[in-house]
Amino acid sequence: MEQGYFDEGALIAVLTTQPLDRCLDYKAPEGGCHLGAFVEVPLGPRKVMGVVWGPGEGGYDPSKVRGVIRVLDAAPMRDEMHQFLRRAADYTLTPLPAMLRLATRSPGLGDPPGMRTVYRLGDSEPERMTDARAKVLAVLREYGGLAFTLSELAESAGVTSSVVKGLVKQGAVLEQASPRDTPYPLLDPDLPGLTLTEDQAAGAAMLAEAVAGGTYGTTMLRGVTGSGKTEVYLEAVAACLRAGRQALVLLPEIALTAEFLTRVQARFGAQPAEWHSGVTMTERRRCWRMVGEGGAQLVVGARSALFLPFRDLGLIVVDEEHDTSYKQEDGVLYNARDMSVLRASLCSAQVVLASATPSLETWANVQAGKYRRLDLTARFGVAVMPEMRAIDMRAEELPGGKWVSPTLRDAVRARLALGEQSLLFLNRRGYAPITLCRACGHQIGCDHCDARMVEHRFQKRLVCHQCGETKPMPLTCPSCEAEDRMSPVGPGVERLAEEATALFPDARIAVLSSDLYGSARALKAHIESIAKGEADIIVGTQLVAKGHNFPLLTLVGVIDSDLGLQGSDLRAAERTFQLMRQVAGRAGRAERPGTAMLQTFQPEHPVIRAILAGDEDRFWAAEASERQAAGVPPYGRMAGIILSSPNVQEVFDVASEMARRDGPLRAVNAQLYGPAPAPIARIRGRHRVRLLVKADKGVALQAALTQWVAQFRLPASLRLSIDIDPQSFL
């Protein structure tokens, strides 16, 4: 038997995506199968998909072991991926079937490649030439041998599809069947890039050399927004392509992909493969297959792209690495940034963690000598970091229900007079966070969650930001039935837009909030038009903080700088610092210098002062020593345990029992806190209770947690989830 190959009839262990706690034994099919092969196996009366995970365990009556039905038409899982799934499962305490589901999220994974109808240039001329026909032939000639689908061809030529069909009848255009999953166009790393500044060139050379070395390593790439981080890491991608290996660029937000695709096109002459929730099923399938077969050199995607079956991954870039969306908060609780490092270490790849405001975790790894550090110090061109100023709200005169201070208002007016853009930033979606009855004080909450419902005036509905439930805005109070007394309390981005319209009646105002666009494409178009200057004032949420370029923007007004500092989250200071710096970084990207104004009621707060001073290293050092003193991440380990059940008594009983029998945790000196109701004590009708485990850095926490949890028999109605390195404490 050759290494990793099972002859027909050999006992093999198959891991399926079914929620079982172990692999199942089967017999290898006719012709045998490879280790890692994707197979279809019988499970009870059903057929399910699985992967050949290793030799069978045995111990059953051999005559009862069933055979593999068929080997699927997909490249076998490579050993590196197998190791990655195992290690990621161990780290996140996730059952392997759930990990395998992440790695097989391709529609029609095992189906043979389908065919589709395509159109190419034929040899004969049409009998009668019309303008429309000439256009079609011109498009086909222009693109040489390239095949088009019917709609692509008709659209590119600006004609109806019947024109194309007419040409087919005449033999001037050929209609052919062609395999569906085709390789992506080749990227050319040797096209001339931009001329880099000295700083950028040095950084690019260092990354390129690391990639060419073909070993594992992680580099923090830090530089203010606009310093050219993207340009620099594209050179690392170029080095990776030259080495014949594949590269992956992770972005935190789909809306950022469009801009990135344009830059890849400009640098490498073609577009990369895309993997995120906005791509069609056909493209998803193509991407998954081509990544595995080597027909995709570069993938740009969301965090789940990390689980694609790369054949030879040489570089992972995590852009905006501090972004919280890299942590998946439901299902498998993993952090794509951390898992990138794991995957890269298993396949000898380089990782680039790029950010203007890196996470404290990354900074600590640099301090500890585990990651290299690369700083881009200047913004590209003449643009400099904006001037940062606080507006002390205690000294401003503002009527109730208004949020733009006179100082900020005057600053916006000055920009309007100059024909420059301003941004009013408020990190709150919707119209108002609270809807209250003025007669009885009743607040409208969600029926399924312990959360208030947020009015969304554009949609004319109340929305629960926890579970997504919506209901119409009531005219009478649901509690005291008073009429017309329901009123909004507090600001949301929609309400702020209303105020801006009243304050600046002649200005063109655009609202940027993730919930206002039906599709990523509509959002992208909107962002592009704003960047070109089709708005004077942008009213936006967190969405605008994430890497978009607004070259005409010179003023950023932060409506509520104190918002993130409330609450008990251990990362509150870090988050506020990052968000404020990111938002401020939107201003003054081109020739004109920018100003950022922070409305705050506590200008002396250390975080606000650090933001104003712009001294990042000092902020980090201070934050690091506080966390070190408290023994919390990244200087200690944490795991959050959430128990939930429709039955409130049951969930507290189980949680108390778990807290009592904490022997395995005490054995490693870990401390357990709780149980306590989770900050959102009910979601979708399930009551939630939290336990928190804290341990020293060197402790084998996962093993201790596994032992601890294994002591309990949990009722079927109760769900337990363990969140290693929790980001969110809700």
197 contacts which partner out of ligand ADP, Zn ion, none, CB within 5 to 8 A by kind?
ligand ADP
CB 539, min distance to ligand ADP, A:
23
CB 319, min distance to ligand ADP, A:
8
From the list 275-283, 410-418, 427-435, 449-457, the region that binds Zn ion by CB under 5 A is 449-457
| Binding-residue total with ligand ADP (CB under 6 A) | 15
Residue from 65, 467, 624, 709 touching Zn ion (CB under 5 A): that is 467
Distance of CA 320 to the CA centre of its chain: 10
Examine residue 340 and tell whether it contacts ligand ADP (CB under 6 A): no
DSSP 64: G
Examine residue 550 and tell whether it contacts ligand ADP (CB under 6 A): no
Q: What are phi and psi of 432, to 5 degrees?
A: -150, 140
> In 3-state terms, what secondary structure has residue 11?
strand
466 contacts which partner out of Zn ion, ligand ADP, none, CB within 5 to 8 A by kind?
Zn ion
CB 253, min distance to ligand ADP, A:
14
Question: Rounded to an integer, what distance in angstroms lies between the CA atom of residue 398 and that of residue 687?
Answer: 40
CB 358, min distance to ligand ADP, A:
13
CB 714, min distance to Zn ion, A:
25
Task: Find the helix packing angle between 257-268 and 520-531, rounded to 10°.
Answer: 70
Q: How far is CA 69 from CA 28, 139, 206, 696, in A?
A: 9, 47, 50, 49
Query: What pairing do the DSSP bridges indicate for beta strands 595-600 and 387-392?
Result: parallel
Angle made by CA atoms 504, 509, 515, in degrees to the nearest 5? 135
166 contacts which partner out of ligand ADP, Zn ion, none, CB within 5 to 8 A by kind?
none
| Binding-residue total with Zn ion (CB under 5 A) | 7
How many other β-carbons are positioned within 10 Å of the β-carbon of residue 151?
A: 10
Examine residue 423 and tell whether it contacts Zn ion (CB under 5 A): no
- 586 Cβ contact partners less than 8 Å away, ≥ 6 residues apart: 225, 423, 544, 545, 548, 550, 553, 556, 594
Comparing CB distances to ligand ADP, the nearer of 509 and 584 is 584
229 contacts which partner out of Zn ion, ligand ADP, none, CB within 5 to 8 A by kind?
ligand ADP
Residues 194-233 that bind ligand ADP (CB under 6 A): 194-197, 200, 223, 225-231
Binding track, positions 397-436, relative to ligand ADP; x by CB under 6 A: ----------------------------------------
Residue 167 in contact with residue 126, Cβ under 8 Å?
A: yes
Examine residue 104 and tell whether it contacts ligand ADP (CB under 6 A): no
> In 3-state terms, what secondary structure has residue 316?
strand
CB 551, min distance to ligand ADP, A:
8
Residue from 259, 387, 396, 469 touching Zn ion (CB under 5 A): that is 469
Examine residue 116 and tell whether it contacts Zn ion (CB under 5 A): no
228 contacts which partner out of Zn ion, ligand ADP, none, CB within 5 to 8 A by kind?
ligand ADP
Examine residue 462 and tell whether it contacts Zn ion (CB under 5 A): no
Residue 279 in contact with residue 314, Cβ under 8 Å?
A: no
Please give the structure tokens belonging to residue 577: 């610092």
Examine residue 380 and tell whether it contacts ligand ADP (CB under 6 A): yes
Q: Which segments of 363-497 are extended strands (E)? A: 372-376, 387-392, 421-425, 434-437, 454-456, 461-463, 470-472, 486-489
Examine residue 600 and tell whether it contacts ligand ADP (CB under 6 A): no
From the list 191-199, 270-278, 487-495, 627-635, the region that binds ligand ADP by CB under 6 A is 191-199
The set of long-range contacts for 649-658, using a CB threshold of 8 Å and a minimum separation of 24, is 650/715, 650/717, 650/718, 651/687, 651/688, 651/689, 651/718, 652/689, 654/712, 654/714, 654/715, 654/718, 655/689, 655/691, 657/712, 658/691, 658/708, 658/709, 658/712
Examine residue 323 and tell whether it contacts ligand ADP (CB under 6 A): no
Binding site residues, Zn ion, CB under 5 A: 446, 448-449, 464, 466-467, 469
Binding site residues, ligand ADP, CB under 6 A: 194-197, 200, 223, 225-231, 380, 549
